[in-house]
Amino acid sequence: MTASSAAPARPPVLRRLGAPLTALAAVAAPTVYVAAVDPNAPGHYPTCPFLMLTGWWCPGCGGLRCVHALTHGDLSGALHDNAPAVLLFAVLAVLWLRWVWAAVRGGPAPRLALGARRWVLVALLLLVFTVVRNLPVGAGLAPASV
């Protein structure tokens, strides 16, 4: 067997885990900060510009409070502060685990391809969420005012 016909050697598992672990560290650092510095206490974080200009909660409003609640084990509080964020975090966790599994096995990183129609659907769902959480009927979906 010649050197040119040999299959290329896979990098060691720790090297393959470099990218997923770097991504985890990039997410963990701000998460630890938000866990320690309560967004429910006024003065720690800036006010959402959309909320300041319109008086309406945007789809991201309550996201920091949601992260804070999740890091303290309060799932119901997190869902109250920003339910779509909880869903997004769960999806991202599953995708990250798939990425780690692919890295351990030496396969390619999984790809996420939603397509235009699904992105439009996500945007419409976020628009509906935004409108409903700003109506009296959806007050339970809005974070508490600080």
Amino acid at 34: V
Q: What's the CA dihedral at 38, 81, 126, 33 to 10 degrees?
A: 20
Residues in the chain: 146
Quick check: helix, strand or coil at residue 57?
Answer: coil
CA angle 110, 115, 119 (to 5 degrees): 110
Which band of pLDDT confidence, cut at 50, 70 and 90, is reported for residue 113? confident
Q: What is the DSSP letter of 140?
A: G
Q: Is 0.85 surpassed by the pTM of this model?
A: no
List pLDDT tens digits, range 55-100.
999 999 999 999 999 999 999 999 999 999 999 999 999 999 999 9
1 CB-contact burial (10 Å; exposed 0-12 / middle 13-18 / buried 19+): exposed
List pLDDT tens digits, range 90-103.
999 999 999 999 99
Helices (H) and strands (E) in the chain, counts: 6, 0
